[in-house]
Structure 1
């Protein structure tokens, strides 16, 4: 069920006005969609952060603008990474009966057998781009990695997605791999060097045993 976020219409203003708005705990935003002109609004920062923490940024939000409710999704977020604050938001109105493109996080479960044996898990594809009805957007796509050994890879086609979800990736795109750790090639090289040294010692010993004593007579 979509979470509700209250918003108020606002007037377009200068940088100082937007700064003042943020100082009051509000985030300047713009509402797009329905073929109408964009509408400047403001939302409570605290409420938006709560929604983002609970359901992420890729799910439907019930945006209530001065008593009028819209189904929306976050289109863009502008933030200040130093202050860790959201500076501006863009919302897009959506039709709940039309498929949309969005992303969903790929969550790995368990510890791979290959990792227990010294390998390293490389997680390359952390989000899937999908197409589905807004009401069918999954919270996440999970994959259990416990059975994976060193040298194993998982591709998009190995993932299980709910019915009605279209994945917008090639099936052979790699999601994750279990690779040898950097220490392992060194260990192998050391073993090979030790084996070579042993072979050299055996060769020297054989050459020594094959020498004949000098003729004294």
Structure 2
């Protein structure tokens, strides 16, 4: 994942009113914390940060330019408005070059399983411990031609060099099942009807 530079401003006003004023000015309230330092309250440029999240995902690593200093930060939590869908607040984690961090990385499936099957995906992300500047944007899992009965667990996912799995390796990511046929559905319906008549 590439490093992104972003100009940030220190915030001196706090509370809901101050946050609203910050957003009206085209900026996003943010807090930078980590490494035992006091939290820093910042304002990030809204359009630029939204573009970073869109292009690099929510695990984007930022080089923040604050006054005359620069800080390296991992985007930890992005809070969006539930209805209007704008970014309300961002939590940033202070990181250092070479430092490993634990992050949730999305899982994306590619291809199509064998005909007559249905794929159920239990996990959409897995947690990995990885160097802050080498966080993968996603893990691709090919399901091309997989037969019914196939299961893929977290430990089956290929990780980049230096990355370690933090999710339980036995955790089920996805399973390929035989798809129900019209006859199966009909048989199920007959079974339910028989059970109901027995109860009566």
3-state SS, counterpart of residue 138 of structure 1: coil
More helix as a share of residues: 1
- The alignment's TM-score, normalised by the length of structure 2, stands at 0.85
- Show the counterpart of 2:93: 92
- The alignment's TM-score, normalised by the length of structure 1, stands at 0.79
User: Is 1:15 aligned to 2:16, yes or no?
Assistant: yes
CA separation of 1:22/1:154 partners in 2, compared to 1, >3 Å: closer, same or farther? same
What are the ranges of 5 or more consecutive residues in structure 1 without an aligned counterpart? 194-217
- Show the counterpart of 1:133: 131
CA-to-aligned-CA distance 1:135-194 (integer Å, 9 cap, x gap): 22112211111121122211122221112110012332211011233445626839xx9x
CA-to-aligned-CA distance 1:52-106 (integer Å, 9 cap, x gap): 0011111311111123211101222222110101111111110122211112111
The answer to whether the 8 A contact 1:30-1:91 is kept is yes
Deviation of the 1:133 alpha carbon: 1.2
1:162 corresponds to which of 146, 160, 163: 160
3-state SS, counterpart of residue 36 of structure 2: coil
CA separation of 1:142/1:14 partners in 2, compared to 1, >3 Å: closer, same or farther? closer
CA separation of 1:8/1:160 partners in 2, compared to 1, >3 Å: closer, same or farther? same
Distance in 2, matches of 1:34 and 1:150, equals 48
- Show the counterpart of 2:83: 82
CA separation of 1:179/1:13 partners in 2, compared to 1, >3 Å: closer, same or farther? same
3-state SS, counterpart of residue 120 of structure 1: strand
The answer to whether the 8 A contact 2:35-2:94 is kept is yes
Distance in 1, matches of 2:133 and 2:49, equals 20
- Show the counterpart of 1:29: 30
Q: CA RMSD of the aligned region, Å?
A: 2.2
- Show the counterpart of 1:2: 3
1:143 corresponds to which of 141, 144, 161: 141
Greater relative CO (CA pairs within 8 A, separation 6+)? 2
- Show the counterpart of 2:39: 38
The answer to whether the 8 A contact 2:61-2:132 is kept is yes
**Structure number, greater radius of gyration:** 1
- Show the counterpart of 1:70: 71
The answer to whether the 8 A contact 2:75-2:91 is kept is yes
Number of aligned positions between the proteins? 189
